[in-house]
Amino acid sequence: SSGLTCVIDPGDPLGSFNAAGTCECPAHSTWNPCGSACPTTCETLGTNVICPEICVPGCTCDDGYVLKNSSCVLQDQCGETECPAHSSWDWCGLACPTTCENLGTNVICPKICIAGCTCDDGYVLNNGSCIPEDQCEGTEPTSEPPCPPHSEWNECGSACPATCADPSSAQPCLAVCAPRCVCVDGYVLDDGDCIPVDQCSSDGCDYEGEQYDDGDEWAVRDSPGLVCQCEGTEVVCYVIDCAPGYIHVIGRNGLWTCQRQTQCPEGYLHRPGSCYKLVTTPSSYGAAEQQCFQDGSQLVTAKTKKTYDLIRRAAGSVAGGDVWIGLSDRVTEGTLIWSDGDPYKRRKRNKFWAKRALRLNLPGNDCVYMSSVRRDKYRWRFGNCDDERMFICEFVL
């Protein structure tokens, strides 16, 4: 074939590897040799995702587009367009919407946007539905509810009230106002009570009986990946996610970080330096690559006689034992690349290949598999990448 193009796997159109750095990618995406391991999706849009700093070559959605069901779509195509009765879609909805249970009470709520359906004005949530406020059990729509000391009723109270941690947060707020009790002038919220601003404590945060100063950050050791920090007097926590094949460990800074696991994943057979798993359910080459990647592994690289013999024995244990190996030229036509990115080095004696296999490679047959030529003797051949065969995953320790 002419030029350097990607053969797009329908099951994973954005994951096709191109060692040469050029690629024909799906609509609204471009090739990136060092893409993110955690691309922005409709599910993660607007959230903080801690992602390991590793390069994952593949197609990356263009600016303004995010992943949705393996396609790149405009961000405003992520949300649901139809909401239940008496509600509408809001890209920056409240993290703590008004319900019958909290109607008229002081609710401390983080200043973050939550995309979703939001009840219309005059309606509140009740068991997943939006109902008029005066239909909440026990409410009296004609009278204002009593407020705690040093607070008063406000038909349009701020959803981001001033607190000891942030005395200025009652200033312009992204969230909509709602009827609620608000602290009177000179008072701010502290643990649900309105107190004078000058009585706010500056001692930091209390978390599970431990005291932390403002700005401190720590790992929650019984919850892998959970990191908390003290912001004023409030504790804010987030989760660090690890890519497949990585596990949570406490780093030198005392916080959770991701480290390549040093033990075989479940179902893998340990051999010095690597772990292997024979998958007997036939799959296309691209689907096999993807299944291995989900374990943090790759299609086996048979670079040595030792690995070749291991694959031969594994394939021989199953009838009709043709197996994919991690070698192809589907991206760089005529140049074979191993699944770990290394180029294949041709030798004078290609003892692993079937007779004339390298010379008779036909267009479209870009992926390599190991096939039996007689009992206990296996050789490499080129096959169509869409054909389905068994495969072996390799997890490098």
| Digit-coded pLDDT (tens) for 203-256 | 678 888 888 888 899 999 999 999 999 988 789 999 999 988 889 999 999 999
Write down the pLDDT at residue 169. Answer: 58
Paired sense of beta strands 56-61 and 210-212, if any: unpaired
pLDDT band at 142 (very low <50, low <70, confident <90, very high): very low
Q: Is the pLDDT of residue 350 over 80?
A: no
Would you report the helix, strand and coil content of the chain in percent, each value rounded to 5?
Answer: 10, 40, 55
Average pLDDT, the chain: 80
**Separation in Å, CA 282 to CA 87, 117, 291:** 48, 43, 12
Write down the pLDDT at residue 59. Answer: 82
Q: Which of 164-173, 262-271, 327-336 has the lowest mean pLDDT?
A: 164-173
Residue range 296-307, pLDDT digits in tens: 999 999 888 888
Write down the pLDDT at residue 314. Answer: 79
CA 207 from centroid of its chain's CA atoms: 28
Residue 208 identity? E
Write down the pLDDT at residue 249. Answer: 93
pLDDT band at 13 (very low <50, low <70, confident <90, very high): very low
Q: What percent of the chain lies above the pLDDT cut of 90? A: 22
Residue range 62-97, pLDDT digits in tens: 888 888 777 888 877 776 556 778 888 776 777 788
Write down the pLDDT at residue 348. Answer: 64
- Reduce the DSSP state of residue 314 to 3 states and report it: helix
Q: What is the mean pLDDT of residues 30-56?
A: 75
Smallest Cα–Cα separation from 311: which of 371, 387, 389, 245? Answer: 371
Distance CA 198, CA 222 (A): 37
Question: Taking the model in full, what pTM does it have?
Answer: 0.44
Q: Which of 111-115, 230-234, 323-327, 371-375 has the lowest mean pLDDT?
A: 111-115
Distance CA 132, CA 154 (A): 18
The residues, ordered by sequence, that sit 6+ positions from 286 with a Cβ below 8 Å of its Cβ are 7, 9, 11, 12, 16, 385
Q: Is the pLDDT of residue 19 over 60?
A: no
Domains parsed from the chain with CATH numbers: 1-78 (2.10.25.10), 87-199 (2.10.25.10), 205-260 (no CATH), 269-396 (3.10.100.10)
Residue range 102-125, pLDDT digits in tens: 887 777 777 766 767 789 988 998
Count of other CB atoms within 10 angstroms of residue 395: 23
pLDDT band at 201 (very low <50, low <70, confident <90, very high): low
Smallest Cα–Cα separation from 301: which of 392, 384, 397? Answer: 392
214 half-sphere exposure, CB direction, 13 A CA radius? 10
Q: Is the pLDDT of residue 388 over 90?
A: yes
The residues, ordered by sequence, that sit 6+ positions from 48 with a Cβ below 8 Å of its Cβ are 238
Indicate the DSSP class of residue 199.
G
CA 19 from centroid of its chain's CA atoms: 24
**Separation in Å, CA 193 to CA 184, 200, 230:** 12, 11, 20
Write down the pLDDT at residue 238. Answer: 93
The three-point CA angle 303-305-309 to 5° equals 110
11 or 173, which is more confident?
173
Q: Is the pLDDT of residue 53 over 60?
A: yes
